[in-house]
């Protein structure tokens, strides 16, 4: 546009009737002016759109419906082209310092069904729908993150958190809660020309009192499991001893029932034969009832 204005000024100056010494160079000035004008018109009619972007045309404040795709595009030199990013974008709201889009603590604080305040860190993955880019510019403008993404997300999370208790939201109902708010936000984004790709509930922080109660419950459950293990082990040990004692008793009963005087006499004779075969010197004295008394022969 600057070259067009400069060329027009040069052409107008070349046709001016003056007595200036420059007047004799009017043809050269006119030629240069037409050159500036041609270059300016050529550059104003060609717009380059980078990969991952689309262009939205505005003429005298009115948004045009034709979307410019990536590459070189021929346009009216009078239009103003707004380049919009259509790649996946990440908008994070976090309680960690400088982790989200807003500095400081930007976590979402909600009230649950049991009246407790829960803090949620969230990341929104979304992108602009190329065909709806003109609609987005016309109805919302270029600052759609602060006008759509942030307020709609925070509102929908607060609206849905009231259906869940704090502990359930933290544990068993977390996935259900995430799917529920995803559907709500997806519908809102679609109406505005945005596509919600994913919704990541990164962290849910419970009140300190609730966390302490949960920790006490977990510790009590662990102690109960430990005691149950000890009792089970003692029970198994008692059962082992009972079985062992029963085995000994059964053995003694069987032995006492099966041994007779003849059996004992036979076992005694076998033992005496073994002693007799021994190389050690010995003296065997047979006592009453054929009970042997063995003395060391060396002594």
Instruction: Give the model's confidence band at 268: pLDDT under 50 very low, under 70 low, under 90 confident, else very high.
Output: confident
Does residue 15 fall inside a structural domain?
A: yes
Q: Is residue 247 part of a domain?
A: no
| Structure confidence by residue, pLDDT tens digits, 184-233 | 999 999 999 999 999 998 888 888 877 777 667 767 777 788 888 888 88
pLDDT, averaged across the chain: 79
Of 19 and 163, more confident: 163
Q: Are 184 and 93 in the same domain?
A: yes
> DSSP readout, 49-97?
E-TTEEEEEEETTEEEEEEEPSEEEE--TT-EEEEEE-S-EEEEE-SST
- Comparing 148-157, 185-194, 279-288, the range with the smallest average pLDDT is 279-288
- Number of domains observed in the structure of the chain: 3
Q: What is d(CA 61, CA 131) in angstroms, rounded to the nearest whole number? A: 20
Query: Residue 117 is inside which H or E element, if any?
Result: strand 117-128
| Cα(182)–Cα(85) distance, integer angstroms | 22
**DSSP of 3-49, one letter per residue?**
HHHHHHHHHHHHT-----GGGGGHHHHHHHHHHHHHHHHHHHHEEEE
Residues 137 and 189 in one domain: yes
The answer to whether position 227 is within a domain reads: no
For the ranges 47-51, 103-107, 147-151, 268-272, which has the lowest average pLDDT? Answer: 268-272
- Predicted local confidence at residue 106, as pLDDT: 84
- State residue 100 phi and psi, 5-degree precision: -95, -170
**pLDDT at position 185, please?**
93
Question: pLDDT per residue over 114-141, tens digit each?
Answer: 888 889 999 999 999 999 999 999 999 8
Res. 166 pLDDT band, cuts 50 70 90: confident
**The pTM is what?**
0.59
Provide the pLDDT for residue 14. Answer: 56
Question: Strands 71-74, 46-49: parallel, antiparallel or unpaired by DSSP?
Answer: antiparallel
Domain end: 173, 206, 239, which one? 206
Handedness of CA 248, 250, 251, 256 (dihedral sign): positive
Strand partners, 89: 126
Q: What is the pLDDT of residues 236-248, one digit of tens each?
A: 888 888 888 888 8
Neighbours of 39 (CB within 10 A): 14
When mean pLDDT is compared across 24-28, 161-165, 217-221, 222-226, the lowest value belongs to 24-28
Residue with the larger pLDDT of the pair 108 and 34: 108
Identify whether 133 is part of a domain. Answer: yes
C-beta neighbour count of 144 within 10 angstroms? 20
Domain membership of residue 277 as a residue range: 261-296
The percent of residues above 70 in pLDDT, for the chain, comes to 74
Asked if 3 and 37 count as a contact pair (C-beta separation under 8 A), the reply is: yes
Q: Indicate whether 143 belongs to any domain.
A: yes
Which residue is listed with tokens 């919704």?
199
Residues 173 and 104 occupy one common structural domain: yes
On whether residue 163 sits in a domain, the answer given is yes
Looking at 27, 59, 85, the residue that finishes a domain is 85
Name, in order, each residue with C-beta under 8 angstroms of 40's C-beta and a sequence gap of 6 or more: 1, 2, 3, 4, 5, 6, 7, 77
Instruction: Report if residue 157 sits inside a domain.
Output: yes
> pLDDT of 51-93, one tens digit each?
999 999 998 889 888 899 988 888 877 888 899 999 999 999 9
**Does 111 share its domain with 78?**
no
Residue 187 and residue 96 share a domain: yes
Query: Is residue 253 domain-resident?
Result: no
pLDDT at 61: 84
Same domain, 191 and 282: no
């Amino acid at each position: 546009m600057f070259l067009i204005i400069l060329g027009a000024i040069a052409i107008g100056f070349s046709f001016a009737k003056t007595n200036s010494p420059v007047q004799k160079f009017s043809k050269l000035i006119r030629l240069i002016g037409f050159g500036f004008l041609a270059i300016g018109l050529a550059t104003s009619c060609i717009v380059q759109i980078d990969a991952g972007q689309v262009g939205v045309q505005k003429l005298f404040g009115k948004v045009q419906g034709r979307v410019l795709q990536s590459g070189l595009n021929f346009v009216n030199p009078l239009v103003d082209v707004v380049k919009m990013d259509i790649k996946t974008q990440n908008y994070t709201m976090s309680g960690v310092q400088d982790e989200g889009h807003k500095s400081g603590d930007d976590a979402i604080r909600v009230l649950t069904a049991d009246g407790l305040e829960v803090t949620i860190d969230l990341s929104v993955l979304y992108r602009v729908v190329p065909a709806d880019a003109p609609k987005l510019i016309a109805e919302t403008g270029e600052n759609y993150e602060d006008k759509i993404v942030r307020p709609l997300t925070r509102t929908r999370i607060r609206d849905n958190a009231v259906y869940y208790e704090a502990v359930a939201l933290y544990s068993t109902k977390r996935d259900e809660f995430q799917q529920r708010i995803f559907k709500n936000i997806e519908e809102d984004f679609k109406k505005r020309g945005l596509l919600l790709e994913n919704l990541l509930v990164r962290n849910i922080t419970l009140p300190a009192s609730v966390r302490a109660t949960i920790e006490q419950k977990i510790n009590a459950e662990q102690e109960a499991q430990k005691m149950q293990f000890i009792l089970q082990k003692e029970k198994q040990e008692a059962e082992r001893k009972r079985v062992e004692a029963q085995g000994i008793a059964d053995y003694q009963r069987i032995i006492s029932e099966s041994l007779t005087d003849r059996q004992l006499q036979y076992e005694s004779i076998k033992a005496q034969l073994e002693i007799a075969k021994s190389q050690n010197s010995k003296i065997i004295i047979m006592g009453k009832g054929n009970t042997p008394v063995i003395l060391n022969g060396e002594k």
